Amino acid sequence: MSWLRGLLFAGIVGGIAAFAVSEAGTALIAELRERVAPGPPAPRHLPAQRTAIEDGRTVVRLKPAERERLGIATQVRPSAPHREELQAYGSVLDVARVTDLTNSYASARAQLQTAQARVEVSRNAFQRAKNLGPYATTVQVETTEGTFQTDQAALAAAESQVRTLAATAQQEWGPVIGRAIVERSPAITRLIERVDFLVQVTLPPGESIKGQPAAAFAEVPPQSARIALRYVSPATRTDQRIQGLSYFYTVPGDSGFLPGMSMLAFLASDRTVTGLSVPEDAVVHWQGGTWIYRAVAPDAFARHALKADPPMSADAYVVEDLPGDTEIVLTGAQALLSEEMKSLLSVSGGVDDD
């Protein structure tokens, strides 16, 4: 039987070989090869180029539909004078000492009133004893006189204590807060009841402001929202960490601050700067620099670098090196920066045109 199987196998192989060399077999094999072998790769989809180098700067050009999709909004900004803000550093103070002085002064005043009343009573008793003449004994006169003199000494001590506490309050906190402690004014009551917090704001060394820096704001973390500070008086001491001029302010107790917290503060100075006012939302940060976008042609935008520590006014940057009536990108600057970054990767095909 083995010879029969060998004969059958040889016949099959011979038939396949004969079919393969035939015209029909050759066509079938070619068709199978085309189906199995991979074809040439399809051309890769590259992103549409929206950026170009013009005059040594990168310009982002967008179609109106692309601009709307990215949320690009611009505004022509005039050049105008602005009152410069100085950045300062604030800390919310613990007013336990204010509370102690207020209570101590109130207690001293009560003791003074008690001493005054005792002196009045003992003076009248001594005067009556003297007016009795021969009807009053020597012991009665001497006793009433001794009581009167003792009460006078107590009154002098009470008056001294009141003066000392009043002077201490002014030495530690200045005439405004010191007088408020003595009078227990509503402002002091608000501090004691934590309706308001007392804030010490210190300017950088070498900075100064003419007059009272009444216009001041603090940034509330974490959103950096601004809240107005209420001016109180110059501070009686500086912040040892900063060594600059200091001022006392109050901030509402529900503002998000607590005693011991630090803050960034901004005080309106007496200096003015001229330039374009650009809000912080229009600024982007990249490679350690601060940038804004401005229009250089219809629907074409280029990055503009801000100088280090640019002046600020009313919670906005003042750009001094751009001409007036420059069109500034107010919203969507981050999207334009992303388009620039896409252009850096487009050569390698690393991004898609979304």
Q: Give residue-wise pLDDT tens across range 299-327.
A: 899 999 999 888 999 889 999 999 999 99
pLDDT at position 90 over 50: yes
Cα 48 → chain centroid: 39
pLDDT in tens, 150-189: 989 999 999 999 999 999 999 999 999 999 999 999 999 9
Residue 43's pLDDT is 42
Residue 222's pLDDT is 74
pTM: 0.71
Which positions ≥6 away from 162 have C-beta within 8 Å? Answer: 105, 108, 109, 112
pLDDT at position 272 over 50: yes
Residue 288's pLDDT is 87
- What kind of fold does domain 51-82+273-346 have according to CATH? 2.40.420
276 pLDDT band, cuts 50/70/90, is very high
Q: What are phi and psi of 56, to 5 degrees?
A: 80, 10
pLDDT at position 207 over 70: yes
Q: Which of 256, 269, 261 is nearest to 224 (CA)?
A: 256
Residue 203's pLDDT is 95
Residue 22's pLDDT is 56
Q: For residues 13-35, give the mean pLDDT.
A: 52
pLDDT in tens, 26-85: 555 556 555 555 555 544 443 456 788 888 788 999 988 889 999 999 999 999 999 999
Residue 279's pLDDT is 92
Q: For residues 100-124, give the mean pLDDT.
A: 93
Domain boundaries, the chain: 51-82+273-346, 89-93+196-272, 96-191
Which positions ≥6 away from 324 have C-beta within 8 Å? Answer: 77, 78, 79, 80, 276
- What six digits make up the tokens of 246? 């200091």
- Name which residue leads in pLDDT, 198 or 26: 198
Q: Which residues pair with 264 in a beta bridge?
A: 89
Q: For residues 116-135, give the mean pLDDT.
A: 82
Per-position b or e across 171-210, b if 16+ CB within 10 A of its CB? eebbebbbbbbbeeeebbebbeeeebbbbbbbbeeeeebe
Q: What's the mean pLDDT when you consider all of the chain?
A: 84
pLDDT at position 262 over 80: yes
Distance CA 302, CA 36 (A): 51
